[in-house]
Structure 1
């Protein structure tokens, strides 16, 4: 399927917004644990969307929603915030940028997509661009953070491929509400066990949580899962390179950080990798449409 400009543009909004996560987490939510932030980001957004669509899954879609919610939301967000708190932003961003490469191989295994050397090259170039963008010579390594980052990248890669394989006969809004709600609910016992209690938020905390929940979850995941249903997996995953690019540009524009020659080269590599990722999938036939089994969905 040739990726249309409109589908690419709408889907790209999600990783661009996700690129604000590091800034918002460190500036607005310094006293919150990773698990609590993940819960407060996912569950309120999921319940809000569920109240809007007023549509519940049934049959096999209950189990699929739980699996996708665990992979795309609870597991990914938990690992993302653990990596963000334990690693410098540059190291965390570089580790998480392995996701597009993981997607190439998972899509081959689960969707029978042919592994294209150009897609692998695009993913590797993108990782190199991210490394130039965010790594510094003094970046410290924390193995727990690195493992968390790789686990998060693998979790969302698998969740994205399965979301493409299991397209339901409902709107992206409904599909997103199921996953955010399921993922958020799965985080509740974890937060109660690990954190015991949630801090009373300040006004600054509420601003950060509102951004991460309404914009960084409710809106962006709708656009993301819409894109998964319309674009090849490697094309969608290649757009994730926009997240660290956004984070670096925000640091330059908001925090007054300077851009080095290596970072500018990284920007060029990231943009080039996204273009290559699309070219690698030119001429591919559209994947099968959603399973139209009305008995599996309850209005």
Structure 2
């Protein structure tokens, strides 16, 4: 396998794991505040990684790390969980799937270069595939949930592109630790104001999965992919997240897969293939 193929596979692990977020949140954290879940996902993982790398950012990087921590974690995860709690997982995933299209234009504006037609086509195909996968006649539309989903997609798109633009002279693990910790610190006062609950053992297992696996590991893999294969291609891999969510529902919740959903999955895979071949 080529180096690029290895990079693609390793990066794809992150959105596949993220696809479990909706089922884990609704099944094991049903009564938590969205901001509390976002905090407990970001800050413990960030502090654990800081203990491993034992390196703090230089003063000149504090501002950029705060911005990236806010965009990639504090704002994005807060909006993600607000959307997940107020919308069916399929609808929330579809709204978040506009991110690759935003990344295409942001990359051109902030990183230089034009907007490639193939990138736009791949993003639109992926969005259509996600819609076929997860939107059903029973899908409920909540205005606050929709607004939160769109805000989260915009935040993560900016964070993805700026992660490529701003790369400090440290390891990716250290860079990930800084951002996670910064995002958690920014969430801390807001989450405390939102009256956090004391987690039960089942809650702790779910939070451990979301934090250690769904945050520390996956964010490292995602940032690694951004630096190696570019934000536009990496953002297309995000379509694997809702596809995984549907597959988990089929496996664990006995949800059926219709021909339209199978066609949607094919479109998602096709969009990723087209996008990475540019």
> Given the two structures, how large is their TM-score scaled by the length of structure 1?
0.91
In the other structure, the counterpart of 1:279 is 277
In the other structure, the counterpart of 1:45 is 45
**Distance across 1 between alignment mates of 2:134 and 2:140:** 13
How far 1:88 moved relative to its partner? 1.2
In the other structure, the counterpart of 2:86 is 86
Give 1:253-292 correspondences, 5 Å limit: 253-280=251-278
**Distance across 1 between alignment mates of 2:35 and 2:220:** 22
Count of matched residue positions in the alignment of Structure 1 and Structure 2: 277
Higher-helix-fraction structure: 2
How far 1:154 moved relative to its partner? 0.5
**Distance across 1 between alignment mates of 2:231 and 2:150:** 19
In the other structure, the counterpart of 1:30 is 30
RMSD: 1.0
How far 1:59 moved relative to its partner? 2.9
Aligned to 1:4, what secondary structure does the other structure show? helix
Give 1:216-235 correspondences, 5 Å limit: 216-235=214-233
Contact persistence 1:19–1:247 (CA under 8 A): yes
**Distance across 1 between alignment mates of 2:18 and 2:116:** 28
Residues 162-216 of structure 1, C-alpha deviations (whole Å, 9 max, x = no match): 00000111111000000000000000111122x13x2121111011001001100
**Distance across 2 between alignment mates of 1:137 and 1:271:** 24
**Distance across 2 between alignment mates of 1:129 and 1:50:** 38
Q: Provide closer, same or farther for how the CA distance between residues 121 and 102 of structure 1 changes in structure 2, counting only shifts above 3 A.
A: same
Unmatched runs of 5 consecutive residues or more in structure 2: none
Contact persistence 1:3–1:231 (CA under 8 A): no
Give 1:1-299 correspondences, 5 Å limit: 4-193=4-193, 195-196=194-195, 198-280=196-278
**Distance across 1 between alignment mates of 2:60 and 2:258:** 51
Where do 4+ consecutive residues of structure 1 move more than 6 Å? none
Aligned to 2:239, what secondary structure does the other structure show? helix
**Distance across 2 between alignment mates of 1:167 and 1:200:** 37
How far 1:254 moved relative to its partner? 1.4
How far 1:275 moved relative to its partner? 0.4
Aligned to 2:94, what secondary structure does the other structure show? helix
Aligned to 1:257, what secondary structure does the other structure show? coil
Aligned to 1:56, what secondary structure does the other structure show? coil
In the other structure, the counterpart of 1:292 is none
How far 1:3 moved relative to its partner? 7.3
How far 1:67 moved relative to its partner? 0.4
